[in-house]
Structure 1
Amino acid sequence: MWDLPQQEEFAQDLCKLFVACNISWNSASNAQLNLFFSKYVPEAKIPDRRVLSGRVLDFLAAEAEAGMKSKVAGRFGTGQCDGWKTNAKAAVVTTPVTVDATLYINAAHDISPERKTSDNLLQIVLEDITYCEERGIIMVGYCTDGGGDARGMRVRLKRLKPKLTVPPCWGHQVRFKMCRNLCSD
């Protein structure tokens, strides 16, 4: 058996592998996986799925957040949000923030049970702006697509935070105009 620090490093690396390869947490209890490791890495103890997706993942997330905080504190940032449907048809809104030309994933919200309104989107955006500001980011702008709920949210956001720049996304504008021009030919 490995000593505790080496076993903990293995657990963290295994957690990262599961996340990167989109492997189910339940696989940690899979008999074939355990046979493989007992044959090729007998010193390693495979952590239980609850340990991997709990304590180990929480530690790695806190470590990543601490690393991000040191890079963004006191810097100017711009937020953005966009939504889409997953393969499982769940409605998701992501709200990344860009600081010093680096994109940081702030949150991904499952909004399937909610109505898609500008008021609901505004609540998500305000909470995420607060989250960023609590981490020391000086928010200077917030960009969204030009859809109805996003457009309405930008109007309300500008009223609540008049110093914030709230433009529509240039990329969405170009794509829309290109599609409209192609369809009219």
Structure 2
Amino acid sequence: MTEKAIFAGGCFWCMVAPFDQLPGIEGVLSGYTGGHTENPTYEEVMNHTTGHTEAIEILFNPDVISYEKLVEIYWQQTDPTDAMGQFQDRGDNYRPVIFVANAQQRQLAEKSKKVLEASGKYKNPIVTTIEEMCPFYPAEAYHQEFYQKNPERYAQEKLERQAYVIEKESGGTE
């Protein structure tokens, strides 16, 4: 039995790797969701004309890895206090969203968000939204498995994200 999770949290290039190699993960696709245009292209999404955000679609076996665990990993990949982008990626097409497939996923995502809010880890409010899953459109082939196909560029993107987190935690970008 395979289930689906969709998460948006900035550039999808950096979102795939943390999930891709986990036991129970059957596949991770980069793509676009949350917009009003069918089959958007990367250029259209980047031009903010479709309403989509970059996201990943995870196919997983819930008998091996739980949705709760996926949400926990998701929180570690994003800045849940930034509604207009993630790290160095700016714009509404990089907004943080958990797209839920059903009432159970919604309940688990909302519970996890409340735990994060109560943790005191962030001084700013948690703005990640939890929205109904909508059509997911796979990104162009060159975006798929980016971290494997382009290890140097992926390493640079990851380094920039880490630098942004360090700067934010030190009070440099509030």
TM-score (ref. length: structure 1): 0.29
Structure with the larger strand share = 2
**Highest Rg: 1 or 2?**
1
Higher RCO structure (Cα 8 Å, ≥6 apart): 2
TM-score (ref. length: structure 2): 0.30
